[in-house]
A and B are shown apart, each in its own frame.
Chain A
């Protein structure tokens, strides 16, 4: 009987545009859109910055000697234009930069002899990241040339003036490093979609059935209420899991079909995520979690009198899910014997560990058991509420 109810509800759900949007369309589009927008914006920014002609003003007694050095910087470091410039005071320098007449002004201090350090002040707009980075590149090139000239003047090699050479060896794999970053973000996306995927079916299958006056008809069929509840709950959980699966499919499409990620290390990490073991482990963690979500939502949707009422109560609950998910994202929050007992946070942290490849099976086991416990508790509450006459007849 549970099977009959489950398949009928699934059939109806697949014909509901709102649920299909929340369960399939939005999750499948989120990664291609998100990555597409980020990558396009980054690329456009880099291209526009690279092609932008940087307007540079040089001020000081040594300006005439310094300008040819800047002009000698190769064009592939970015196009530039030196503007002859004699400001009356510093305020004028600032004003010209603020109104974009100049992007950068280099103020050179006077040096008394060859051995004195050439000091320079560089004025720029902190809001214009491109010009800031570009001038750093130019000055790094000039610094390198200047250093070589001075070493040649004294007849020295770079090794002779270098006190020690450092090589940093990172024992973390790239997978671990990027996994720590991506591992916080990805589970959050899967959990949110698990929640959203549960939300519409929970409203439709309980409040909707009451609002459309079909619940009374269903209850006159010789089927136990717990079987009806289980059949419907399975649909809610399936929808939540499918939303998460479609988000994974979306990630796969973004990577393999649209090739939106160009960074080879990030590509490597995401490719590692998209393996059957990871997906199976993620789903295993998400099953009790979506059941827990369903168990939170059903008592609310059973009691609500209209779709609108259910939606207005469930929407703020979104934040109750987002909050622990965000806590799990914070740096320094690790899966331990405390966090493993906090629902939602434990799943975020377990998934994070899973992506980073540093899994502690005992802690993940505790996380899983805790989620199962809370899921069972919420199912019990759902059963009590669904069985209540007040919630059936309104």
Chain B
């Protein structure tokens, strides 16, 4: 389970950033008192326009950023006080994440298995299962830099799942991918859900959200403007389709 309780994040602005933004404010609030829960066996989607605070929220869940205020729990572990314990439970995949291009998929997977402290035999067994599932065997010993985007995405998936995480965090995982490669991610999210994992993913593509998620939160200018089940979102819909409803809610929040 993921629990966020009144989580806020404020960035300090450098002189250069203040000049670029044409502001005298030394601080920039990015996330403001956000609270939600993601349950095991369910897919939670964090939806919002660009710059709404989705990535910052997910980075706080993944302990890359420390909240300015509030509380985050991952599988019952306080992610602020015990970040390393929390990280053992998390698999984090972003659409923009790079891989070590001078390593082979085989070397990369073993590196991350070692970092997560996965037992050697367990790592090999899990790796082979994932290789079979994603058909990675033919290119497992090629340098990652020479692989196609689709192949790299498969390696990223195995890297994320090698320690069998309890919670999986996806930050715009299909962004920039072709339909076939994006399908691998969608299949992975479904598999995670079926195996009882807690899944949270951010997106601004409504069709993807409609296809996958059970629970939904819409974030705009750092604050939640909707938090409920997908069913409740559909039931309360005033526009003719989900995309228009999403735009309507965001526009309403702006006004």
Contact = CB atoms under 8 A, between A and B. Distances in A.
Contacts of A12: 100, 102-103
Which of A221, A223, A393 has the most C-beta atoms of chain B within 10 angstroms of its own C-beta?
Answer: A221
A361 B210 CA distance: 75
Contact of B88 (A212, A217, A222): A222
Interface string B43-83: 00000000000000001001111100000000000000000
B98 A213 contact: yes
Contacts of B59: 216, 393
A224 interface: yes
Contact of B94 (A11, A212, A216, A390): A216
A54 to B, nearest CB: 62
Nearest to A204: B102
Interface stretch (B114-122, B211-219, B223-231, B237-245): B114-122
B64 A393 contact: yes
B162 to A, nearest CB: 11
A15 B102 contact: yes
A91 interface: no
Contacts of B208: none
B115 A221 contact: yes
Which of B87, B97, B100, B101 has the most C-beta atoms of chain A within 10 angstroms of its own C-beta?
Answer: B100
A235 to B, nearest CB: 13
A217 B102 contact: no
B103 A217 contact: no
Interface residues of A, number: 24
B135 interface: no
Given A4-B115, A220-B87, A221-B87, A11 B65 contact: no
A384 interface: no
A217 B108 CA distance: 12
A9 to B, nearest CB: 10
B116 A214 contact: no
B84 A11 contact: no
Interface in A194-220: 212-214, 216-220
A221 B98 contact: no
B interface majority secondary structure: loop
A232 to B, nearest CB: 13
A1 interface: yes
A214 B97 contact: yes
A218 to B, nearest CB: 8
Contact of B84 (A8, A15, A212, A222): A222
B131 interface: no
A223 B84 contact: yes
A12 B145 CA distance: 12
Contact of B97 (A15, A213, A223, A389): A213
Contact of B114 (A4, A15, A392): A4
A214 B97 CA distance: 6
Nearest to A5: B115
B106 interface: no
A386 to B, nearest CB: 13
A16 interface: yes
Contact of B117 (A8, A222, A224, A393): A222
Interface in A98-146: none
Nearest to A1: B115
A217 B115 contact: no
Contacts of A214: 97-100
B98 A16 contact: no
A214 to B, nearest CB: 5
B136 interface: no
A239 to B, nearest CB: 15
Given A221-B112, A223-B84, A16 B102 contact: yes
Given A4-B115, A12-B102, A16-B102, A217 B87 contact: no
B88 A216 contact: no
Contacts of B102: 11-12, 15-16
B96 interface: yes
A216 B62 CA distance: 10
A201 to B, nearest CB: 13
Given A212-B101, A390-B12, A393-B59, A217 B159 contact: yes
A224 B84 contact: yes
Interface string A1-27: 100110010011001100000000000
Contacts of A4: 111, 114-115
Contacts of A224: 84
The 10 closest A-B pairs by CB, nearest first: A213-B98, A222-B87, A220-B92, A221-B115, A15-B102, A212-B98, A214-B98, A222-B84, A4-B114, A12-B102
26 contacts: A4-B114, A8-B100, A11-B103, A11-B107, A12-B103, A16-B102, A212-B98, A212-B100, A213-B97, A213-B98, A214-B99, A216-B59, A216-B94, A217-B94, A217-B97, A219-B63, A220-B87, A221-B87, A221-B112, A221-B115, A222-B88, A389-B65, A389-B66, A390-B11, A390-B12, A392-B64
